[in-house]
Structure formats: C-alpha cells, structure tokens
Amino acid sequence: MPYLLEIPANMVEYIGYFGSFLTAITFVPQVYKSWQSKSVGDLSIWMVLIVVTSAIVWLIYAFAINSGPVILANTIVLVLTLVLLYFKYRFKNIE
C-alpha cells in the first residue's frame, strides 16, 4: 500500500515524538489549575476514567508494535490523568 506522504524515515520518528509531546502536554494546564485551585468539582470523573482506560489500551498497542512516540505520549497522559484522579479524590472534601 502506498504512503500518503513521502517523508524520510528519520523525520517520521521526529514527527512522531513531536506529536506525542503535544498530545502529552494537553493535560498539563488542567493538572496545574486543579493543583493551584485545589478544585476539581467541574472535572468529569467519567472523562478521567475514559482517558485512563484509553491510555492503557494505547500503551498495550504501543508496546505490541514497539512504537516509542506512542509509548511516550500515553505514559505521560496516563500519569497526568492519574494525578487528576488523585486530585478528584483528595480535593473532594475541600470543595
């Protein structure tokens, strides 16, 4: 099957890592805001649980195909989302 884009192999890996970095940092502002405000009342527990499950499934897939960028992104997303889950539990009595 032909590729849609002809990109040199070494560049593909860099693009993958850059994309994984951008994906991974999407939760940083929410984690920081939740930590600063000690408030996660508006954060959906279902969204957090879905993201945790999604990251675990992606990690299984990434390890199966040995994809560094996907492993990196989903490890960071999983850690940040678990921090949000911890905040959801920890800050419950503060709100």
Decide if 63 contacts 78 (C-beta within 8 A). Answer: no
* Strand segments (E) across the chain: none
d(CA 70, CA 17): 8
CB neighbour list of residue 1: distance below 8 Å, 6 or more residues apart: none
- The predicted pLDDT at position 94 comes to 60
Q: Write down all domains in the chain, each with its CATH number in brackets.
A: 9-90 (1.20.1280.290)
Residues 15, 69: Cα–Cα separation, whole Å = 9
Predicted confidence (pLDDT) per residue in 44-69, tens digit: 889 999 999 999 999 999 999 999 99
Entry pTM:
0.81
User: What tens digit of pLDDT does each residue of 4-51 get?
Assistant: 778 888 888 889 889 988 988 888 998 999 899 888 888 888 999 999
Say if residue 93's pLDDT is above 70. Answer: no
CA 43, CA 19: separation in Å to the nearest integer? Answer: 25
